[in-house]
A and B are shown apart, each in its own frame.
Chain A
Amino acid sequence: MSQLLSRRDVLAKYSNGFGLVALSGLLHSENSVSGSTAAKRRGAVVPRPNASAEHVILCYMSGGMSHVDSFDPKPRLTQDANKDVPFNIERTQFNSNGKLMPTHWEFKPRGESGLEISELFPHIAQCADDIAVVRSMTADFSEHAQGNFFMHTGFSFQGYPSAGAWVNYGLGNANENLPGFVVLASGGSTYPHGGVGLFGSGFLPSRHQASTLRLDGDVPIRNIVPSEIDVIQRKRLSFINRLDDAFLADSRNDTNVEAAIKNYEMAYKMQSAVPELVDMSDESAATLELYGINVKSNKTDDYGRQCLMARRMVERGVRFIELSCLAFGVGGGGAANPWDNHGNIKNGHQRMGQQIDQPIAGLIKDLKQRGLLEKTLVVCAGEFGRTPFSQSGSGRDHDPYGFSIWMAGGGIKGGVAYGATDEFGYHAVENITSVYDMWATVLYLMGIDHEELTYRHGGRDIRLTDVHGDVIHDIIA
């Protein structure tokens, strides 16, 4: 039991005020990880030696962000504003299709590259030269839950591993005291439609599934707050350990029993590692300002804290972090799908844009100034885009046939737009890409051949990219 130090001791002894960086480093030494965790940390694949990205931050735009209002300029919509739709309309989710609808936000060339981004995202626009927009993304589903599952897992229903789980399975986790796949939540954010299964590990070992970390409230992770004071908990753990040791000896050092015993040590450490992680009091005022934290008037505070937390997690080795948008309830987008502006997209998208713009831009700038951007891939994507024609005059319906996602950092070539939709922005027509291609590219940047990252389940070798996927080399630096 002697190796079980008090949380305070651990922090005092190893963190030296540097928080978890030092702590996590120490905990990787063989002394502090159990025999079985050494195997756990080893990933299923050996990454390509020159892989650029080590971490992924997925800014998920749940509900479907409009591409023609953000990253895919379509002057034709302005020219032909309010005219009848001159093309065939696919089956839409609401079957209430109106006229061509121009954007409410002006597009401008940005940065040295001249990449066009609309006024919906003035801060992100400042990072244009770091961003590669894929304007020809396609998905197979026009419905939120299936779209969400598809975007996260490559399949449209529950039961398959989320991309974050795949990445952790492939590369292993770099911090034993924190989960390798974390979904951040704050304010009124909730899981997108489809629920917690979107972040599941499917048939992969369940240690790869996401942990949800709430940035407000008393309990950031379920059961992480000790139920008793430390001195008593340590007494109990020592009692448990003594009797467990006897049980272990009696069971001839059964590996599963041993692993379960070691597991308590890790749980004990997590009880202090997590509060340490979520305590942002060591961040400077300038940093907080960069992310729009404490700037209540712009509604950037909640999402800003998620973005800052994402950076803190990258620093601590967390592989895959997903951020959750909050709802403003304008134009139909509820907490589960806040971008879903079937009506009044002008107000709805404006509020949503405001929420994430400065925080995400802050994140990119902060990662860059700390030298973390080159190994951190920031991905911004929703389950689909929105139709170039209106729904009920002021909103837009779902459009999975051609929409935009973007990536930055982690080996991405900045300031480029790849692929194109037709002149109205309805269908992808040039260099058509799929969700599979997106993940193939993400995995490639992490040094993984997406065809090699497989797991045998139900009689098949299953991949994140199913039987598809081509790396989009044109957006890689």
Chain B
Amino acid sequence: MMLRTFRNSLKSLFIGIAVPFLMSNLSQAQEFSSDKIDFFERKIRPVLVEHCYECHNSADTAESDLAVDFRKGLLNGGVSGASVVPGEPDDSLILRAMRHQDGMKMPKGGPKLSDEVLDDFAKWISDGIADPRETPPSKEELVQVTSWENIRVQRMKWWSFQPLQFEMPRESIWSEQTIDRFIYRRLVDHGVEPQRIAGKFALLRRLSFALTGLPPSQDMMDRFSADSSDESYEEIVDELMNSPQFGERWARHWMDLFRYAESHGSEGDPGVPYAFRYRDYLIRALNSDVPYNQMVKEHIAGDLLDTPRINEELQINESALGVGHFRFVQHGYSPVDPLAEQIQFTDNQIDVVSKAFLGLTVSCARCHDHKFDPISQKDYYKFYGIFANSRPALITVDTKQKQDVSKTDLVGLKSQIKSKLVESWLDSANRIKGFIELDADPSDALGAKWHDTIVNLNADSTNTPLHELARLRSKDGDEFATELKKIQEEWANRQDQLNAFHSQEAVRRWDLSNEEDYGEFVKHGSGLNEKPTSPGEFVIAIDGDSIIENFLVGGAYTNALSNKHNGVIHTPEFPVDFKDIWIKVAGLNEMGPRVRFAMENYPRFIGLLYYQHTPNSTEPKWFKWDMSYFSGNSMYIETTTGHDIPVEIRNNTRSWFGLSEVVCLAEGQTAPIDKPNHLAAVCDLEIETADDLGLLYSQALMSAIKSWAENEMTDEQAVFLSFFVRSGLLPNTLDQLKPIQPLVSRYREIEASISVPTRSPGVIDRDGADHALFERGNHKTKGPIVPRGFLEAFGDRQYDTSESGRRELSNDLVTSSSSLLARVAVNRMWHHLFGSGLVVTPDNFGKLGRVPSHPQLLDFLAKQFIANDWSQKSMIKSIVLSKTFQQQSSSQHEDIPLVDSLFGRYPIRRLDAESIRDSILSSAGTLESTVAGGSVLESSNRRSVYVRVHRNNPDPFLETFNRPDPHSTVGRRPTTNVPAQSLTMLNDSFVIENARIFATQVLSNAELQTDKQRIIHMYRRAFSRNPTTEESEFCLGFVQELRTQNESLIGSITRLSEEIGAKSKAVENILQPIRNRLMDSIDENDGLIDVPKPISAWDFETDLHDQIGDLHGTPFNGAKLENGALVLSAPTAHVKTEEIGSDLRIKTLEAVVQLDRLNQGGGGVITVQTPNGLVFDSIVYGERISNQWIAGSDGFRRTEDVEGLSEKEAHTAPVHMMIVYSDDGTITLYRNGELYGQPYKSNGPVEFKKGTAQVVFGLRHGTPDGNKLLDGRILDAKLYDKALSRDEIEAIAAGHSGFIPEKLVLAELSVDDRERVSKLRLDIGTLSDSLAELSEKYTERDLDTLVWREFAQSLFNLKEFIFLR
């Protein structure tokens, strides 16, 4: 595809360009002077070889028929004619293309070659094209000159691959500091004067943002402005750099480099458990100035370091946290091609690591050697091998000491408990014979237990050691012999199958009780030991009366000492060249242990392809997966305790598993079976009568106990004994075994003090293996195996290791490539301090990046950095102490871009997203200083570095101001300018709320008595400076203006309310007499229809009492009564009643309601709900569709859109709403007595149980938040325990129950009155629209708060607030 692209573009660029075609001296061999030939050899040939030969050569079909590998080829040219015209550089096609003239761009896809090269070509052409290449090279020669080796040597000449080199600049009159001397020298060269030192306030603000991301504190401003000593600046620098906020600021820069994210994206966007630990690690490391090279090593191999950094306070291995970034990759959902998935995320790891540390784009070499830099495709697969050998996991980062704390004590206690138990049990086991034989009255408690057990035995209880007893005890003679024979045969059959299973040549088989097999597994966590668990290992119950919880069999168990210990165990990787995988595992479902398979390192179990298994048995049991779907892929099996799965967050603090066997079987091979736990499993059933059974059980138990005592127990014995102990058939309670009590108590005390493991995202190394190269990047065509190792450009060392190779890579990075590593690092620091680096492409130091503006300064800084033990704080400090950094921002020079490129002033730049949000919080005084821990939502008042980063749900505020999407390394954030930013500052509730708090703080500050004092104070908080006199005056005027405006605004709100009230009253004055009259007349006709009586009714005349039942209401948040109506206009006003006194299933809700305005949505008029609001039925306005009524219910379970008419009147006149919930599930809505929309069928009315439901007014359900609240007034409400019929409802609406429909009333009015009502209502409508708009925007009615909030928000909106200078 690349070739075709190339050809097309070349075609297009050669077409239509007329070039003089000079045939004259083509055939003549020419003599050129040796200096011209020398020039060609030094300046021209290498360029042709490196940039042109690949496509334009004589051996292959040359692109556009142009070959530049011999002189005649150049002169002849290609489809567009000669590419060079001797003596005419400007007419030579090759040079025009190299100059990117006429839309031609050569070399294809690369940057324009340097001016020097272009000048060389021009000179060479002018001088007659001296070129000794008379004949085309042979294919072999061509291969040789264009070999990767040759090209790499050429490319290694690029500046960033050279050793650090600089000459110390001469002293300057401007500054003694070395940095300044470098800067000054170039300024002088360009005739630019450096700027003088910025003012104190500006400098402090600049320093504070650059070092901590926050504005300076008021206290610091006071101190700094008061102190005129020479040292004060440096003191402030130290103070800021030593503050905890320094790490929070600089950690975020690292997070950009490592695309920090707390979820994996894609479908479901699952969490990266404990991602925040990496963030906190960065903050701590930067605050304590961990050397950069150490941090680099930790990022690559912190979990493997021989001498890791230990955090004594937290007792964790700090270094191990560094590898967390490997996990911030995106993961697909249940990929059908898991290898393609692995390539995606491994490629991203390579991309990020190589860009972040070396400024190199190694991932560009996935399909072919790098197009521009000395990085081969092999280099890429060296890295691939290293990273693909590192398995995604949740790792435990506690120190070994912490992980092993108390283990010795517990082991000792167990041993003591064991010997005491052996003693007691041998005695008991001896007596068991008697219990069984006599089958008679028990002599003691143990005997009684046996007696009960035996009496209750039945032949069905097959899978216990009492199986034989159950089947044989009541038999004798022939019957006994027959049954015994049957048992023996059954047993033999099982043995046969097991033997067949064991003796066959399985495709792959591991027995975890076998030390060698166990040793092959990758193990991690505090619960797994060097050696497998032996049969007879036992678990002490951590509470309750029992002592022993269980006996373990041989295998990999995590709970020998405590189920707070954790474990992760992996098989080696193996190909899917079999059909079924069988796994034998124990564990308890409620504690969440998991077995899953990792196909090509894919870390999730999900969907229907990536299975997981939760064991639920104390003894290991087999299960199998058919893996044929993944035939051809590679996999391993991962078994983890509940909290330790790599993706998604769990909360099982106690969990355990026991893994015993893993077997891969081909189609048709014999499957394993679970071996039953029978007497037969531990002894021969050579007996004659049932009476012998007693002896046999006694012997079997004695033998098991003795084996246990001597540490020679078998799996069968362990399972056998376990049963008797767990069932209480051997003494196992503290009560029975008093002498053991103190030991057990001590054990439990110690166990309780074991802390939960500290987990962090990470990787676990597997057995090292080299990776094959993918031809042209296609994973379906594997090429040669590439040994893992370091980049060719830095020595090409190979890693011969049984680990992943990360350990070696981490060493190589900080040694073999230290110059580049240091250059990249110091440039990043410079970039963050100035907003622009010495290399302006901080993530690309290769050919497509930009060359440094001050190469010598860069190298000087890099050298200094290394010399100062890679101390980032020292480096940052030396930069901010420079005069260069302290220059003022304004410059009178006319060429500002030039000045900025020379650092001839301090550039003006917009603050980044986090600083904008943080300084809003800081100015408002709401910023919380809590550090570390799980991430928080945007609404939190903590620093933005702690705001969560979910891929599919980015934080809108921070995203708007360019917090990067976590995709790849971002060393230089784009700063865009989009309306969403202004809209956020103008209208976002976060900004407004903080402005409000800012205002209330200022108003309640007793020291601020005058407006002027307030303004000065707010200026200082927002801009870290005092306002000028003019500014103060201007602000005073503005505040006064705001006051006038808001006064009139609040006046309008009051006036509007009053007017609406007056007009409503006028309407009522006209209507009420008519209504009364109609009511009276209807009462006289009572009995037309017998309307069912409600079970509750509220008329809201004098109180919230239920006039019929006991559902009396209580008002909340400003709900009040007014003119016989419940007024719900306050923002969260609502009413809740007592709980219902009888069950309620079939029901009818009724309410007469008038809305404050039509453009509201989601509020409930009358609701029946469970007290937490999780289940409810409600008359709801405008929730799913604007202006429509629905029968609201929990999760819309009974809700459908009935598609009734849009409400147009309810804000001017009351409407009568009823919803009927019938027995068959039909739900019918009525408005003013008429059917509203279409009835529909739900899956039945929900039943509210007596005492567990209540009625609510004005709130849809639950807590009063979101859009659940109704703004309006309820005049009347009723609740029925019947489904009212249509006739009944019409009757009610016709006034039979107190509501007279509007149309009846209006019909009775005189024409004049009707017009008056109509006019009044029109006015009310208009007025309430206006009122509604105002009420919505101005929930705050306190004039002062309003004024100062608006002022505060105006300050946030000033550009000075978001720009730093």
Contact = CB atoms under 8 A, between A and B. Distances in A.
B979 interface: yes
A196 B337 contact: no
B1185 A216 contact: yes
Contacts of A235: 1038, 1041-1042, 1045
Contacts, number: 243
Interface in A261-309: 261, 263-264, 266-268, 270-271, 296-297
Contacts of A225: 987
Interface in B1039-1055: 1041-1042, 1045-1046, 1049
Interface stretch (B581-589, B820-828, B967-975): B967-975
B335 A159 contact: no
B554 interface: no
A9 interface: no
Interface string A192-209: 011111001010011100
A458 B971 CA distance: 11
A156 B344 CA distance: 9
A197 B982 contact: no
Given A251-B889, A257-B1359, A451-B9, A468 B952 contact: no
Contact of A142 (B109, B336, B846, B956): B336
A145 B263 CA distance: 14
A460 B371 CA distance: 9
B689 interface: no
A143 interface: yes
B1031 interface: yes
Contacts of B334: 93, 143
Interface string A233-259: 101100110111001101110101101
Max chain A Cβ within 10 angstroms of own Cβ: one of B269, B330, B609, B1354: B330
Interface string A82-100: 0000000011111110000
Contact of A223 (B1, B983, B1338): B983
B552 interface: no
A228 interface: yes
A4 interface: no
B223 interface: no
A467 B953 CA distance: 30
- Using C-beta atoms within 8 Å of the partner chain, give the interface range for chain A: 35 or more
A256 B1358 contact: no
Nearest to B1162: A217
A259 B608 contact: no
Contacts of A257: 908, 1359, 1363
Interface in A218-238: 218, 221-229, 231-233, 235-236
Nearest to B351: A458
B562 interface: no
B1186 A458 contact: no
B1357 A236 contact: yes
A263 B981 contact: yes
A467 B1 contact: yes
Contacts of A93: 334, 336, 607-609
Interface in B833-868: 843-844, 846, 848
A158 B979 contact: no
A36 interface: yes
Contacts of B608: 93-96
A461 interface: yes
Interface in B589-636: 607-609, 629
Contacts of A217: 1161, 1186
B986 A223 contact: yes
Contacts of A371: none
B982 A146 contact: no
Contacts of B967: 157-159, 202
Interface in A156-207: 156-159, 187, 191, 193-197, 200, 202, 205-207
A251 B1353 CA distance: 22
A144 B265 CA distance: 12
B5 A206 contact: no
A456 interface: yes
Interface string B941-955: 000000000011110
A260 B364 contact: no
B2 A467 contact: yes
Among B848, B967, B1034, B1185, the one with the most A-chain Cβ atoms within 10 Å of its Cβ is B967
Contacts of B8: 451
Nearest to A269: B979
A110 B977 CA distance: 49
Interface string A134-159: 00000001111110000000001111
A229 B1049 contact: yes
A426 to B, nearest CB: 15
B1337 A227 contact: yes
A224 B983 contact: yes
Interface in B440-467: none
Contacts of B1201: 296
Given A223-B984, A243-B1031, A264-B982, A458 B968 contact: yes
A252 B890 contact: yes
Nearest to B110: A461
Nearest to A265: B982
A443 B1365 CA distance: 42
A455 to B, nearest CB: 12
A235 B629 CA distance: 68
B1358 A451 contact: no
Given A252-B890, A459-B844, A267 B265 contact: no
Contact of A270 (B109, B896, B979, B1353): B979
B1185 A197 contact: no
A144 B980 contact: no
B1362 A260 contact: yes
B54 interface: no
B364 A460 contact: yes
A197 B265 contact: yes
Contacts of B992: 227
Contacts of B276: none
Contacts of B968: 159, 458
B988 interface: yes
Contacts of A191: 952
Contacts of B1357: 236, 240, 264
B986 A267 contact: yes
A190 B415 CA distance: 61
Given A156-B332, A243-B1031, A252 B891 contact: yes
A461 B109 contact: yes
Given A194-B266, A206-B974, A217-B1161, A223 B980 contact: yes
B502 interface: no
Nearest to A228: B1337
A92 B337 CA distance: 10
Interface of A: 36, 90-96, 141-146, 156-159, 187, 191, 193-197, 200, 202, 205-207, 211, 216-218, 221-229, 231-233, 235-236, 239-240, 242-244, 247-248, 250-252, 254, 256-257, 259-261, 263-264, 266-268, 270-271, 296-297, 336, 451, 456, 458-461, 467-468
Interface of B: 1-2, 5, 8-9, 109, 265-269, 330, 332-337, 344, 351, 355, 361, 363-364, 372-373, 607-609, 629, 843-844, 846, 848, 889-892, 896, 908-910, 951-954, 956, 962, 965, 967-969, 974-984, 986-988, 992, 1031, 1034, 1038, 1041-1042, 1045-1046, 1049, 1159, 1161, 1184-1186, 1201, 1203, 1333-1334, 1337-1338, 1350, 1353-1354, 1357-1360, 1362-1363, 1365
Given A94-B608, A159-B330, A251-B1365, 10 more contacts: A156-B344, A194-B952, A196-B953, A202-B967, A227-B992, A228-B1338, A229-B1049, A236-B1354, A260-B982, A336-B267
15 contacts: A93-B607, A96-B608, A144-B267, A145-B333, A194-B267, A216-B1185, A222-B956, A239-B1354, A244-B1360, A251-B1363, A252-B891, A257-B1359, A260-B982, A270-B983, A467-B5
Instruction: For the complex of A and B, list the 9 residue pairs with the smallest distance between their C-beta atoms, beginning with the closest.
Output: A195-B952, A159-B967, A459-B361, A267-B982, A296-B1203, A145-B266, A193-B267, A91-B336, A223-B983
